[in-house]
Amino acid sequence: MSRIIYGVSGEGSGHTSRAREMVRHLLDKGHDVRVVAYDRSYASLKDEFDCLEIEGLHIVSRDNRVSALGTLAHNLGRARKAIARNRALRQLFDHFQPELVITDFEPATAWLARWRGIPLLSLDNQHRLRYMKFRVPASLLLDRWLTRLIITLMIPRPDIALATSLEQGPGTNARTRIFPPIVRQQVLELQPANEAFHVVYVTSAFDSLIYTLKCFEDRVFHVYGHHAERVDGNIHYRTFSGDAFVQDLARCRSVIATAGFTLMSECLYLHKPLLALPMTGQFEQQVNALFLERSGCGMNARRASVEVLQAFFNNDAQCRAALQRYNEALQARGCEHYGGAAIKQTLDELLSELARRQSSGLTFPTPLAEGVTHERCDTSR
């Protein structure tokens, strides 16, 4: 069995939920795993796993727009603490002597692996933007180039890249495999319903949306992302709780949110129409929203106006029909889409190959071995 350090980004909740599923699987297989995380991921994972807290990059947004100056100031203010905690990370590498580092878009563990010559495997959704062929409008070509550059600067070239994607496209190299998204077990066990309220998941700084929601007095909105629970007319403010949120997600009529990868995956699984409001300055969210628009499973909107929300509510039946077609098409193609079995099987095979090669004094298998599983499902139609 292998000694593995698993680095997890603390931005959003998607990295956390995917890493939890994968670390549980690795532990069940008998591997020795140390988790390295920060912010939300550390808070969520520390009670279940052997977890080291470090400092990581945090993106600051205002009114659904990335704030470059706010992001810079916030991260500079954490620099002293980052130096101290990253010293502890180096000590972990010294004492634990990992045989493999897995990174879910966490840079510190990835760069330490590269500098120390330890095999590096990326397992995230960001690397589809780096290593998968896909089309975007001409207006986003510069954003795509910049995003690939940022990913390259944050994560050194992995020996193997296992990337999850809403759409399946060809990889650009032999080191990469593309898989459907992984939905956490807690969501897989839910029983969906369609009750008379809508879930809204935004940051507390996205105030313009709240003003628009108040115009729909006949509709109830459960708004997550605020610091105190209260009711203001048709707006029910909710503090974020994992259990409460997923229960609301299963029971709601539809979802209004930014275009995050994990929440969109969960909406597809639960057959929930999604009005996506991609964050300005976040190319990945723009790509996710374009997929939603093309598939018909929801709407892609630049701003949350009264007209946009009304069109979304009026389009409910069409979105539900598209969601039904999407999931039926997956079943018809025999694709294991949500539980992550294919990516777990591939990881198991890679770890077996790693152990065999290390025992023979060989390097990690790059490109991927011919016998390694690759599930590819066409979700574009």
- 48-52, 283-287, 357-361, 364-368: segment of lowest average pLDDT: 364-368
Give residue 372's pLDDT band: very low, low, confident or very high (50, 70, 90).
Answer: very low
* Alpha carbons 74 and 56: distance in angstroms, whole number: 11
* Alpha carbons 237 and 258: distance in angstroms, whole number: 17
Token digits of residue 112? 């330490």
Whether the pLDDT of residue 263 is over 80: the answer is yes
Please identify which residue in the block is written with the tokens 């990253």. 86
Backbone angles phi, psi at 246, to 5 degrees: -65, -30
Mean pLDDT, all residues of the chain: 84
Token digits of residue 122? 């990326």
CA distances from 378 to 29, 97, 180, 283, 332 (A): 30, 40, 10, 22, 11
pTM for the predicted model, two decimal places = 0.83
Please identify which residue in the block is written with the tokens 């969520």. 44
Query: Reduced to 3 states, what is the DSSP secondary structure of residue 230?
Result: strand
CA angle (358, 100, 107) in 5-degree steps: 150
Q: What is the pLDDT at residue 220?
A: 96
Sign of the alpha-carbon torsion through 189, 194, 195, 198: positive
50-64, 221-235, 321-335 — which one is most confidently predicted on average? 221-235
Whether the pLDDT of residue 331 is over 90: the answer is no
Q: What is the pLDDT at residue 153?
A: 87
* Alpha carbons 30 and 352: distance in angstroms, whole number: 12
Please, what are the domains in the chain? Answer: 3-182+340-359 (3.40.50.2000), 186-332 (3.40.50.2000)
Strands 61-62, 65-66: pairing kind:
antiparallel
Q: Rounded mean pLDDT of 230-259?
A: 90
